[in-house]
Structure 1
Amino acid sequence: MIRFLTTAALLLFCCIPAHGEPVRVYTDTFRPFVSAEDQRAAPASELVDMILRNAGLEPGFTYKNFAYGLYRVGEGDEALSFPWRRSAEREERVIFSEPFLTLEHSLHRKLPSSAGSGSPQLSQARIGMVGSYVFSGDVAQLVEAARREDRLVVSASETEALAALLAGETDLLALPAPVVTATLEASFPNQTGLVRELEDGPTESFSLHAVAPKNAWGEDLIARFNESYRELRTAGVITDDFLTGRLARPAKPDVAVLVSSEGFPVVKGALKDNPDRELALPAGTRVLVREWSADYAEPLRSQSLYRIMTSSSLVIVLNGPHVGRELYIQNMHLTLAE
């Protein structure tokens, strides 16, 4: 009996990483959720870090190609890898944790689309995707139809897939919206306004997991990972809005520079709360445009050109003697900053 308990204890000790023992974590950049440059700013990385530390482990993040990380774990490396979506093929090779992140796939298009102002027809569109992604539901049907009809363009990364969309090599791209936004900001900062989510297009929600090798060591690690995750959820450390709050990004505002105009050498601004009172502002003052005048949205007619120039947009002054003021500035004095 004593021998049995001793043997069992030794087996348990061998299988479960000791308290504080480093555990290798394979991952790669998956903006905005995983980032090698700024791990604290990447909510999925911080989440996995908290879960492992709460389980008494010391994670060591190794940033390698995603396929390499999954391969090493599948080969039995004593390591964790994330984030991964379940698939039958992957479940044959690795053990999945409970889901810790839920995303939604949607379709995105470039403005203007290849069909002019409208959206491309789904049945004819060239579909772009990242090779490691797995789909289900309506999105999967759309992707498989494009594959059968040789309309599918598979890229190695999110950056490559967005480059193909911006270059007109694809009509639609299947990616989660936060991934599109973050990748555009990182790789194509001057084209962030050119990609839009397809209205009324198919979507699908899916969960992401951590994976470990399919052996006793991996089973024990995933059990500790899941227990730690549930504990942090119960304690209120991880909440439903943990990720959404971290990912919330206000729309990038328009910043303009005030310029003089022919016949109007002095830039004047009317106070928002008292439009009858005007202030003089030096040329070169930078402002944040809160609301462009409605005239910009109307079709241009020759007789309305002067009205557009002299109508006013609401701005907040960013520097100079009137910094912080909300003013109405005539459009002829506003030029977008680079």
Structure 2
Amino acid sequence: MLDQVPALLAGERRVAAKMITLIENDGPEKQEVLKALHPHTGNAYIIGITGSPGAGKSSLTDQIISALRKRGKKVGVVAVDPTSPFTGGAILGDRIRMNDHYNDKGVFIRSMGTRGSLGGLARSTKEVLKVLDAFGCDFILVETVGVGQSELEIMTAADTTVVVLTPGAGDSIQAIKAGIMEIADVFAVNKADLEGADRVVTEVEVMLDLSQRSRSGGSQTWRPPVVRTVAMRSAGIEDLLDAILAHRNHLEASGQLNEERKNRVKLELSEIIEHHIKDLIRNKVVKSGLWDKLLEQVLERTIDPHSAAIDIVDKGLVRQE
């Protein structure tokens, strides 16, 4: 796949699909491919779409795609679906809802199963975003799995996070409980033609009035707008997109966009280091028999778990000459 990197940069869809599959399956060339793509990333603007199941995230995503295409933007979509703990399969229903865009060469849609990962994203989501970034997408939409209080991981991947609420389901109160108020850059009250939409808008506005949070720093703060939408009728979509772009302009003008991306790189680097350290320790300590030896000692109460862990780390990180 490494020899196909130029084709990806030239916009070859088949190559993009193959590279994403390689990354999802943790293929042998994965690290080399990501290394080659890295200099060509950092250009796409990433929008996270999160909220509870049934809120209409897929329908809204579909409408945002259309609005961005009308403005001549190339769009990538990563739709994360839950993986069954019994069969290991995923429904991948978002492909059905966004079917109208599959013949559009300016849109690339990929559904991913969580494969047991928590936090609303699949384990390899962030790496897939790099492929779509290098592929030349102007915007990448990430629709999370929709599992309520574990949705917070999206803020480590998206530049702008849209939280979708609906009337009649207690979503606004649940969002407050879940801490989603803290990650939302824009609120979309979808199905706003239903009874109770005004109450949801009022509740969120009141909470925003009471909240003194600021994600943007400096003297200017960003107050998340609350936008009413009816995705099934394409109502409010342009207003929602305008709110997203207004947030982008705010981040760029305040310098916070670069700062937040820098923080995400720090987090990514830390996660990669931890992953490699775990592999190093596991491979070295388990093969040496030290793991089983210390495990028995802990069970026999001749050594405590904390001391055993320190011993494993110390010996695991010492490279043999």
* TM-score bracket, shorter-length normalisation: under 0.3
TM-score if structure 1 supplies the norm length?
0.26
- Computing the radius of gyration over CA atoms, which structure comes out larger, 1 or 2? 1
**Structure in which a larger fraction of residues adopt helix:** 2
Greater percentage in strand: 1
